[in-house]
Structure 1
Amino acid sequence: MKKTKDRGQNRQERRLAMTKNKLVNQGAVRRVYRQIILLGMLIHVLYVALFGGLGMSGMVYYNVGSTVFYMAMLVLAFYGRYRIVVTLIHLEVCVFVIVGTLALGWDAGLSLLLIALASLIYIRPYRCSWIPYMFSALEIGVFVFLKIAWDQEGMTPAISVCLANAVYLFNAAASFTIILVSSTIFNVSSALAQGRLMRKNEILQEAASTDSLTGVLTRYGLKEQLEPLQGKPAMIALGDLDDFKRINDTYGHICGDYVLATAARLMQETAGTQVCRWGGEEFLIIMTEQPEREAQAVLTGIAEKIRSYPFSYDGYQIRITMTFGLTSGVIGPDFESLVKLADQRMYQGKRQGKDQIVS
């Protein structure tokens, strides 16, 4: 009983830990997007000051509007609309670079922002992994288009060479900052991906170790439980629900599942046992602390609990019995042969009239 409670408690602790990790990861994701948005907002605030100092009122108004845009992105990120946020930010930067290049000239270096933003392919809130690469290709395309168009049209910059160099340095600093943030995001994304992989492995391991219908161990789970018990003597019983096919044929498989789950619960309530669903309606019971006489008494108690339990389904009272084969041995490489011997004794009990223990 204690081991059953311990396994149930461990499963509950793992689920709580997984839920906690999920919430932590969600918080980390939210912080990443908030930092990206705040960085964009800060850059545009600095642009307002820069263009205000240059007396370019049109660019000041544009960047005030961009600042308001990033405030709206904060709201969307708060509600988890990450795909919309990332898409709009990519488009906003492309439009800003086009407008800024036409207003200030190619030498102002606004196009550097496109190269920096193209590095943010690690931000993938989309269902399709190729979408970030599509945005990167768009930004590179805009970069090449602006360069070719500027050279062919022979446009004249609206600011002096000295001011263009100053703006260029500012844009270079902003671009380097974006790239540094991108590397940080990559590290966070890698950690989150690793965490998700570990959680999936835990879920798969738990699913492989525990039978989903009855809640007892599977063969894989039993193997894990027996590893620390290698070399120890044990009593091994293989039990089979009598006439289980008749129950399925008469009352249906839903009733059969109910009988299996209930019988497994009754077996698990017995102290000092490890219960494994060996296959179908067969259950393997391992007792490592009882001599043969006590092990027989344990099985007698289990058989009596199942025999006297009021199995009821759809208004029908169903009498369930169980036949056991019992053997003793040492847990080790020959474990399968011990189970085979218990299986032979169980079928001997079936031939002798069922509802009995053969040892």
Structure 2
Amino acid sequence: MDNSYNNFFLANYIKREKTQYDFEDKELFNKTITSFLFMHIILEGIYAYSYCTPMIYINLVSIGIYLIEYYFNATGHTIIMVWLAHFEIYFQIVLATYFMGYKCGFWLWLFPCVFSVVTPYFMPLYSKVQSFSANILVFIYIATFIALYGFHENGYLSTRFLASDSISAFLFYTNALIAFSVLIIYNTIYSVNIKQNAKQLNIMANTDYLTGLYNRQHIQKVLYEDNYKNIAIMDVDHFKNINDKYGHLLGDHVLTEIAKMISSRTEICAGRWGGEEFLLANKDLNYEDFCHTISIICDEISDQVFSYEGVDIKVTSSFGTATYTKDMTPYDLLKEADTRLYSAKQHGRNTVISA
């Protein structure tokens, strides 16, 4: 693991603080807008062929709305874009059903509309107000479905611009195909998004926010489950003095730079053990080679100049190492390394105690 995780988390945190929403894929939304725009252009031809004058003008408004949505998507006003799309689709469904007839199947679009509201990818519900609004929207869609069916059964729909049987059949099967294809696409995108979010949450749960290394919980789990036989516990010497003298930001910088140095070694699995302490583990090297590697890291840290906002400082570190022996538990291994770390501090620091 490297420190890029830290930058990734920080960037996403700032972004969420500013917008409360995490829509990244503008290209996906552009493709969606384009597909709906293309569909409405085709509908314009069908409405004209059917001499359904009201829908010709209504559909022109819909085309204008989707052209405006390109602007909202480009400027990051995603929530406005999504709600505007729901508004357009809803009135297109109701008015097209009213003027051209129930048999045209425009009401089938109510199904993907409901699904898009209840899937967080398309309508993230981060507040009670938004959750309440979405519930109202779902209620409206369901009530509209029932109302349109009732109006159709009782002959309340307009018959002036009623489509012919052939056009009605064509529109019904086309609407059914597109509406349920959209349902499948929604479900696919939502599933992929859930997996991506789960992966990101897993990384966040296992990673130390500051350094990008494993956090204590996960490095301990790795140590227990993956049979690491060599470990070292490291402590940055006099770290409190660094924070007190130069401030916590410089202290954080020192920790992140040390984390980079440690994580650059592929043979070492490392995690932040707590505060200024790190745990380093290895399963392949013999103990002598492992201790030699730890000594090199210790020297690299003491030779490094840590620069931050015009301040240059040098730090040292102390290490206590241990290796697994027969009948030793992971707890025993950690205890032995911790005891040797304490011994390293007692013997002047900036050293590695391995026995």
TM-score computed with the length of structure 2 as normaliser: 0.71
The answer to whether the Cα contact below 8 Å between 1:218 and 1:276 also exists between their aligned partners in 2 is: yes
* Structure 2: runs of 5 or more not aligned: 10-21, 74-80, 125-129
Give the SS at the match of 2:210: coil
C-alpha deviations, 1:231-259, integer Å up to 9, x for none? x6x33211111222222223222122122
Give the structure 1 partner of residue 16 of structure 2: none
The answer to whether the Cα contact below 8 Å between 2:236 and 2:317 also exists between their aligned partners in 1 is: yes
Give the structure 2 partner of residue 209 of structure 1: 206
Give the structure 1 partner of residue 57 of structure 2: 65
Which amino acid is 2:140 matched to?
Answer: M
Question: Partners of 2:65 and 2:55 in 1: how far apart?
Answer: 15
Give the structure 2 partner of residue 219 of structure 1: 216
Task: Assess, with a 3 A threshold, how the Cα gap between structure 1 residues 115 and 343 changes in structure 2: closer, same or farther.
Answer: same
Task: Assess, with a 3 A threshold, how the Cα gap between structure 1 residues 223 and 43 changes in structure 2: closer, same or farther.
Answer: same
Give the structure 2 partner of residue 327 of structure 1: 322
| 2:339 is equivalent to residue 347 of structure 1 | no
The answer to whether the Cα contact below 8 Å between 1:238 and 1:285 also exists between their aligned partners in 2 is: yes
Give the structure 2 partner of residue 94 of structure 1: 94
Give the SS at the match of 2:211: coil
C-alpha deviations, 1:64-85, integer Å up to 9, x for none? 3245334334424544434323
Question: Partners of 2:27 and 2:278 in 1: how far apart?
Answer: 44
| 2:239 is equivalent to residue 244 of structure 1 | yes
Which amino acid is 2:205 matched to?
Answer: A
Task: Assess, with a 3 A threshold, how the Cα gap between structure 1 residues 65 and 326 changes in structure 2: closer, same or farther.
Answer: same
Give the structure 1 partner of residue 50 of structure 2: 50
The answer to whether the Cα contact below 8 Å between 2:301 and 2:315 also exists between their aligned partners in 1 is: yes
TM-superposed CA distance for 1:188, in Å, is: 0.9
C-alpha deviations, 1:299-355, integer Å up to 9, x for none? 332222222322355665544222211111169982232011100111122233333
Question: Partners of 1:300 and 1:110 in 2: how far apart?
Answer: 79
Give the structure 1 partner of residue 140 of structure 2: 134
TM-superposed CA distance for 1:191, in Å, is: 0.8
Question: Partners of 1:112 and 1:302 in 2: how far apart?
Answer: 73
Could you tell me which of 177, 181, 186 is aligned with 1:180? 177
Give the structure 2 partner of residue 122 of structure 1: 115
Question: Partners of 2:184 and 2:348 in 1: how far apart?
Answer: 66
Question: Partners of 1:271 and 1:95 in 2: how far apart?
Answer: 64
Question: Partners of 1:215 and 1:329 in 2: how far apart?
Answer: 27
Task: Assess, with a 3 A threshold, how the Cα gap between structure 1 residues 271 and 148 changes in structure 2: closer, same or farther.
Answer: closer
Give the SS at the match of 1:325: strand
The answer to whether the Cα contact below 8 Å between 1:118 and 1:137 also exists between their aligned partners in 2 is: no
Give the structure 2 partner of residue 192 of structure 1: 189
Aligned length: 319
C-alpha deviations, 1:85-139, integer Å up to 9, x for none? 33123224434444x3xxxxxxx73476464343342234445433244244245
Please tell me the root mean square deviation across aligned C-alpha atoms, in Å. 4.1
Identity of aligned residues (%): 20
Question: Partners of 2:247 and 2:179 in 1: how far apart?
Answer: 58
Which amino acid is 2:196 matched to?
Answer: R
TM-superposed CA distance for 1:186, in Å, is: 1.3
Task: Assess, with a 3 A threshold, how the Cα gap between structure 1 residues 26 and 302 changes in structure 2: closer, same or farther.
Answer: same
Give the structure 2 partner of residue 3 of structure 1: none
Question: Partners of 2:250 and 2:289 in 1: how far apart?
Answer: 33
Which amino acid is 1:45 matched to?
Answer: G
* Structure 1: runs of 5 or more not aligned: 1-6, 16-21, 52-58, 101-107
Structure with larger Rg:
1
Question: Partners of 2:180 and 2:213 in 1: how far apart?
Answer: 46
Give the structure 2 partner of residue 282 of structure 1: 277
Give the SS at the match of 1:123: helix
The answer to whether the Cα contact below 8 Å between 1:244 and 1:281 also exists between their aligned partners in 2 is: yes
Task: Assess, with a 3 A threshold, how the Cα gap between structure 1 residues 290 and 138 changes in structure 2: closer, same or farther.
Answer: closer
Task: Assess, with a 3 A threshold, how the Cα gap between structure 1 residues 286 and 330 changes in structure 2: closer, same or farther.
Answer: farther
The answer to whether the Cα contact below 8 Å between 2:223 and 2:281 also exists between their aligned partners in 1 is: no
